[in-house]
Amino acid sequence: MKKLIVANWKSNKTVEEARVWLEAFNQTSGHDQLTVAIAPSWPLLPVVAENAAGGRAVLAVQDLSPFPAGSYTGAVSARNLEGWPVKYAIVGHSERRRYFHETVQDIARKVEQAVTARITPIVCVDEGYIAEQAAAIEPELLTHCLVAHEHAATIGTGHGESLSVVKHMVAEVKHAFGEVPVLYGGSVDAFNVNEYLLIADGVLVGTASLEVAAFTQLLAATQQLEPA
Ligand code: PGA
C-alpha cells in the first residue's frame, strides 16, 4: 500500500476557506508514492469532492453514524453518503471519545456501518484500550480496518510521540487487530513525518493540515522517502 496521509480538518474552515485551500493545493505538484485523503466537516464535503476530483486527493469523513439510515436525528449514516466518493471514515478519534463519550461498542458499530458501505474505517486507538477496541469489533471485520495510533496527550501539542513508543504501539495494534495497516497521529509535521513513515503505513495530520503551505511542505518532505 502507498503511504497514506490523512488531513483531518476537524471543525475548522468555512466553505470559502476550504475552496481557497483546495485551489492552492491543486496548484502544487502531485505525489505518486502517497495517497492523500482529506477529511472535512460535513458541510465541506461537496467542495472537497468537487475540487479534489482531479485525483490529487481522496475523500474521507471524520465520523459516521453507528446506526443505519433511520430516525437518528443529527447523525450522518453511511446511506447519506451514497453518491459521494468517500473512501475512508475516521472512527473513534480521541476527541470523539472525550467530548462525545463514544465507547468501544459505538466505534465497533461504526466500523460495521462503514465496511457494509465499502468505506474503509480508520479506527483510532490509544494505549490502554487497543485490545478492548479490537475485541469489540466483529472478528471478520478487523482486517477491513486501518488503525491509527494516536496518543491523546500528543495531539495538537507540537510534541509527537517518541519513535520507540510508536514502534511498540504498531506491534501492539498488529497483535490485537492482525496484519492491518497502522497509521500514526499526533503533532505530525514536515519535520518529523519521515521518521514516522519509516515505522507506520501513514499519518493522520491535524494542525499541520490547516494551512495549505504547512501541508504541502509536509507532503514535499516525504519525497525523500524511498518508494515503497
Ligand atoms: P494534530 O492532530 O496533528 O494537531 O496533533 C492529529 C489528530 O488529531 O488526528
Say what the pLDDT of residue 227 is.
Answer: 55
Please check the confidence at residue 84 and state whether its pLDDT lies above 80.
yes
In the chain, what percentage of residues exceed pLDDT 70? 98
Please check the confidence at residue 218 and state whether its pLDDT lies above 70.
yes
CB of 120 within 6 A of ligand 1: the answer is no
d(CA 124, CA 69): 24
Residue closest to 98 by CA, chosen among 155, 148, 147, 42: 155
Q: Encode pLDDT of 159-174 as tens digits.
A: 999 999 999 999 999 9
Q: How confident is the model at residue 157 (pLDDT cuts 50, 70, 90)?
A: very high
Residue closest via CA to ligand 1's atom 2 equals 206
Distance of CA 68 to the CA centre of its chain: 22
User: How far apart are the CA of 71 and the centre of ligand 1, in A?
Assistant: 32
CB of 90 within 6 A of ligand 1: the answer is no
pTM of the predicted protein model: 0.96
Q: Which residues are catalytic?
A: 93, 150
Ligand 1 atom nearest residue 207's Cα? 4
CA distances to 45, 139, 179 from 60, in Å: 9, 24, 22
Average pLDDT (139-160) is: 94
Is the CB of residue 12 less than 8 Å from the CB of residue 209? no
Backbone angles phi, psi at 174, to 5 degrees: -65, -35
CB of 94 within 6 A of ligand 1: the answer is no
d(CA 61, CA 140): 23
Q: Encode pLDDT of 17-55 as tens digits.
A: 999 999 999 998 878 889 999 999 999 999 999 988 677
- 3-class DSSP state for residue 145? coil
User: How far apart are the CA of 66 and the centre of ligand 1, in A?
Assistant: 23
Say what the pLDDT of residue 226 is.
Answer: 61
User: How far apart are the CA of 59 and the centre of ligand 1, in A?
Assistant: 18
Average pLDDT (181-187) is: 97
d(CA 134, CA 173): 9
CB of 150 within 6 A of ligand 1: the answer is yes
